[in-house]
Amino acid sequence: MNWHNIVTVYLKELKDSLRDRRTLLSTIIIPTLVMPLLTFGVGKVASVVINRARGETPSIVILGGEDSPGVVAQLKASKKFRVVASTADWKQRIGDKQIRAAVRIPEKFEAGLRAGAAAPVVIYHYEGELKSMLGVGELEKFFRDLRDQTVTARLAERALPPSLVRPFEFSRENVAPPEKVGGNLIGGFVPYLIIILCFTGAMYPAMDLTAGEKERGTMETLLCSPVARVDLVLGKFLMVLTGSLSAMVFMLVSMGATAFIAGSMWAGGGKAAPLAAAAAAKDSASVIPMIDPLGLLGVLAMVLPVAVLFSAVIFTVALFAKSYKEAQSYVGPLVLVIIMPAVLGMLPGIDLNFRLALVPILNLSLVCKEMLSGVWHWEYIALIFGSSCVYAGLALALAVRMFNREDVIFRT
Amino acid sequence: MIEARLLTKTFRDKKRGEIHAVDAVSFRAEPGRIYGLLGANGAGKTTTLRLLATLLKPTSGSATVAGFDVVREPEKVRANVGFLAASTALYGRLTAREMITYFGRLHGLADPEIKARLARLAVQLDMEEFLDRRCDKFSTGMKQKTSIARTLIHDPAVMVFDEPTLGLDVMTARAIVRFVRECRDRGKTVIYSTHVMSEVEKLCDTIGIIHDGRLLAEGTLAGLRTQYGEQDMEEIFVKVAGGEAKP
Ligand SMILES: Nc1ncnc2c1ncn2[C@@H]1O[C@H](COP(=O)(O)OP(=O)(O)OP(=O)(O)O)[C@@H](O)[C@H]1O
Ligand SMILES: [Mg+2]
């Protein structure tokens, strides 16, 4: 190994890549834009849609209830929903989102109540449809209140205290610090994004520096130089790693900037105390709540060996291909292999254990989720960092080996 | 100086089985002379030259190039060889100057040295006006000149040319041929592969005819003419290649 040669190769590849539009796009431009787009684009649209749905008064239909005028009148008087005339195709209309829900008041409902107990009320809704669910929520609240009123009235009639049916109250209170809340909401998503960008950042330089060079015929020119093959591989590999890390760094920096801008924007321009900003950001369905900066540093350290692993693996795979196109068809499916463990790690139920700590990518995803929410399991962190380094080292050794094989370099 | 001794290269191909691309080839190329390797498509010219330039490792046999063994000291061999082929392209996103400087550095030259040599080569090859333009915008002739400068930046003792005039127009091809002669006149060992008979006649001091991986005939142009009783190189070639029954 000759560091002088490695640096020479690296600097040349860096200059070359900076002039390649595809590489610039995947390592700088897209990573910079992804967070702002997600936050201000998708995040904003989502919060607008939800708020509008909340703001609208749900339209409902009453089925039956001719012999229970009191309840019907109360429903009609409520400001929480708008009662529209019932038609025979009410089910269809729920499906078509013209009305949000229907409520069936059983025969002799009020008479039954007076006598003691009435037949059940049934609420019809469209499962999974946001607006229908909001309408149902309001209807349920209405009937729960009605039941409570009935109970209260009955207790009063018999001169019994309300504590007879409600012997105690309970409530809940949040003890998690704000960054912990952020970690759980977003903690799964940020590592996921980091993993994907590390991969796509390495992808284009890796294909360009291997299959691309074969296709353009510069590989043979390069191999004519007296530089040892291992130096060529390492110089090229460092460039691929640079692409991977640059994608991640650009994404994180732009994420920080986005969080800052979004925070002060959603704080309403008022006294933008950090906490108020975080709270404001949270309830406007923001994608970026407060994140523990120390956790972010930890994530960066953990990602390093994984970036090495990705770079070496993509480099090796792309080296087999004869052309850029062929390389794309090999590397493309790899994305799925990466995404699966990354998505698994995003699921709320899965937590770290010693076995999962050895699964590449999934372990990173899980440990990042913990670190971002301020939890530091040092024995897992050491195990994951160590195993990632071993995987990365193996992948890099494989890349060097493949580069030395003439049936890989001169494949026909 | 190049010396090949029973140089053999066998490829394993899934469809075609074993391919004896180069089969026990022995020859000697001397400094100050041009050795021409003449052969049809698929005869094994490129493979032979790649073995000499240590891009491939021989299956068996050996060769010394500029005094170094191709198997044991491949890096030293490459440091003393300039390899130019149709398949050795330029980096399109670099300028000619950057390209040549890069290869100078890869050969371990210091930057001032590279600068001085590049200035001299640019004058010799008349490439000053496009030195700072990107290679992907070059005409074929400009590319060829840049490639030549790239092979010469480390002033190698041995020059290996693999069909360097392939796909070039007459004027550019003549310029290349003139340049190959200059290399010989400066005392370099030159090996030159082609399937163009006239080039061999004009250029080469010694001619080796390669067919199906084997070196079937070798000698000076005059020697081959007397040996095969033909004046025309093409007739000689057909006699050599066709007269030998395939085993
Ligand atoms: N990397 C390889 N893998 C398998 N077979 C190969 C490889 N390289 C060359 N061959 C085969 O070896 C034989 C010799 O090829 P070579 O390229 O040396 O011929 P050539 O004389 O240069 O021909 P051309 O005039 O077409 O350039 C051919 O049959 C070719 O298909
Ligand atoms: Mg050839």
Write out pLDDT tens, residues A69-86: 888 888 888 888 888 888
Query: Largest alpha-carbon pair distance within chain A?
Result: 103
Q: Which ligand is nearest to the CA of B195?
A: 1
Give me the pLDDT at residue A266, please.
Answer: 57
pLDDT at residue A354, as a whole number = 87
Query: Based on the number of CB atoms within 10 Å of its own CB, is A345 exposed (0-12), middle (13-18) or buried (19 or more)?
Result: buried
Give a yes or no: residue A217 inside a domain. Answer: yes
Q: Is residue A270 located within the same domain as residue A404?
A: yes
CA distances from A377 to A195, A343, A352, A369, B79 (A): 21, 21, 9, 12, 53
In this structure, are A213 and A288 located in the same domain?
Answer: yes
User: What is the distance, to the nearest Å, from the Cα of residue A412 to the centroid of all Cα atoms in its chain?
Assistant: 43
Q: Please state, in angstroms and rounded to a whole number, the distance separating the CA atoms of residues A196 and A202.
A: 10
Evaluate whether B168 touches B42 at the Cβ level (below 8 Å). Answer: no
Domain shared by A104 and A231, yes or no: no
Interval A83-98: pLDDT, tens: 888 888 888 888 888 8
For residue A20, the chain B residues in CB contact (below 8 A) are 93
Distance (Å, rounded) from C-alpha A356 to C-alpha A340?
14
pLDDT of residue B3: 96
Q: Please report whether residue A203 resides in a domain.
A: yes
Distance CA A266, CA A280 (A): 6
**Residue A95 domain boundaries:** 58-164
The CATH number of whichever domain residue A67 belongs to comes to 3.40.1710.10
Residue closest via CA to ligand 1's atom 12 equals B21
The residue whose C-alpha atom lies closest to atom 16 belonging to ligand 1 is B44
At residue A278, the pLDDT reads: 44
| Residue A44 resides in a domain | no
Chain A nearest-CA residue for B109: A5
Q: Which residue has the higher pLDDT, A283 or B222?
A: B222
Residue that terminates a domain, selected from A164, A189, A207 = A164
Share of chain A above pLDDT 90, in %: 36
A224 vs B78: CB contact, 8 Å cut-off?
yes
Q: Provide the residue type at B188 as one letter.
A: K
Q: Are B140 and A39 in contact (CB under 8 A)?
A: no
pLDDT tens figures, B44-99 = 999 999 999 999 999 999 999 999 999 999 999 999 999 999 889 999 999 999 99
What is the mean predicted confidence (pLDDT) over A370-392?
A: 89
Whether ligand 1 lies within 6 angstroms of the CB of B46 is answered as yes
* Cα B97 to Cα A264: distance, rounded to the nearest angstrom: 51
**Residue A65, token pair as written in the block:** 């209830």
Mean pLDDT of A376-405: 93
- Looking at the structure, do residues A86 and A207 belong to the same domain, yes or no? no
Q: Least CA distance to B159: which residue of chain A?
A: A224
CA A316 vs. chain centroid, Å, equals 30
In this prediction, residues A331-341 reach a mean pLDDT of 90
pLDDT of residue B150: 96
Asked whether B209 and B199 are in contact (CB, 8 A), the reply is no
Mutate to test the interface with A, among B57, B76, B88 (most CBs of A within 10 A): B88
The residue whose CB lies within 8 Å of the most ligand 1 atoms, and thus the one to mutate among B47, B50, B210, is B47
The predicted pLDDT at position A271 comes to 39
Task: Please indicate, yes or no, whether residues A196 and A146 belong to a single structural domain of this protein.
Answer: no
Tokens of A327: 């390389």
Same domain, A349 and A383: yes
Write down which residue in A124, A140, A164 finishes a domain. Answer: A164
> How many Å lie between the alpha carbon of B89 and the closest alpha carbon of chain A?
5
For residue A61, what are the β-bridge partners?
A84, A102
Question: From ligand 2's centre to the CA of B45, what distance in Å?
Answer: 6
Residue A148 shares a structural domain with residue A229? no
Which residue, B11, B9, B13, is CA-closest to B24?
Answer: B9
Instruction: Verify that A311 and A249 share a domain, yes or no.
Output: yes
pLDDT computed for residue B23 by the predictor = 94
Is residue A341 located within the same domain as residue A250? yes
Per-residue pLDDT of chain B (247 residues; tens, 9 = 90+): 999 999 999 999 888 889 999 999 999 999 999 999 999 999 999 999 999 999 999 999 999 999 999 999 999 999 999 999 988 999 999 999 999 999 999 999 999 999 999 999 999 888 999 999 999 999 988 998 999 999 999 999 999 999 998 888 888 888 889 989 999 999 999 999 999 998 999 999 999 999 999 999 999 999 999 999 988 888 999 989 876 444 4
Q: Is the pLDDT of residue A311 over 90?
A: yes
pLDDT of A185 over the 90 cut:
no
Among A122, A144, A164, the domain-final residue is: A164
Distance of CA B47 from the midpoint of ligand 1 (Å): 6
Q: Quick one: pLDDT at residue A388?
A: 93
Tell me, what's the pLDDT at A48?
80
List CB contacts (< 8 A) between A15 and chain B.
94, 98
Report how far ligand 2's centroid is from the alpha carbon of B210 (Å): 12
Q: Which residue of B has its CA nearest to A11?
A: B102
- The best mutation among B46, B197, B209 to test binding of ligand 1, ranked by most ligand atoms within 8 Å of the C-beta, falls on B46
Q: Is residue A66 part of a domain?
A: yes
Whether B165 and B139 have beta carbons less than 8 Å apart is answered as: no
pTM for the model stands at 0.81
A353 burial via Cβ count (<10 Å: 0-12, 13-18, 19+): exposed
Tokens 């007739």 -> residue: B235
Confidence of residue A269 (pLDDT cuts 50, 70, 90): very low
The owner of tokens 């000076």 is B220
- If you average pLDDT over residues A323-347, what whole number do you get? 89
The answer to whether residue A46 is domain-embedded is: no
Residues A73 and A23 in one domain: no
Using the predicted structure, report yes or no on whether residue A180 has a pLDDT greater than 60. Answer: no
Residue A372 belongs to some domain of the structure: yes
Can you give A116-185 as a three-state secondary structure string?
CCCCCCEEECCCCCHHHHHHHHHHHHHHHHHHHHHHHHHHHHCCCCHHHCCCCCCCCCCCCCHHHHHHHH
Report yes or no on A48 lying in a domain: no
Is the domain of A89 the same as that of A21? no
Determine whether the interchain pair A227/B106 forms a contact, defined as Cβ–Cβ distance below 8 Å. Answer: yes
Q: What is the pLDDT of residues A116-161, one digit of tens each?
A: 888 899 999 888 777 788 888 888 999 999 898 888 888 888 888 8
Q: Can you give the pLDDT at residue B245?
A: 45
- Residue among A196, A200, A194, A204 at smallest CA distance from A18: A204
Number of domains comprising chain A: 2
DSSP at B95? B
From start to end of chain B, where are the E strands?
2-13, 17-29, 34-38, 60-65, 68-69, 81-85, 158-162, 189-194, 206-211, 214-219
Same domain for A227 and A93: no
**AA identity, residue A366:** L
**Over 60: is that where the pLDDT of A268 sits?**
no
Distance of CA B195 from the midpoint of ligand 2 (Å): 9
Cα–Cα distance, B163 to B173 (Å, whole number): 10
The minimum-distance atom of ligand 1 relative to the CA of B49 is 18
Report if residue A219 sits inside a domain.
yes
Measured over the CA atoms of residue B100, residue B102, residue B108 and residue B109, the dihedral's sign is positive
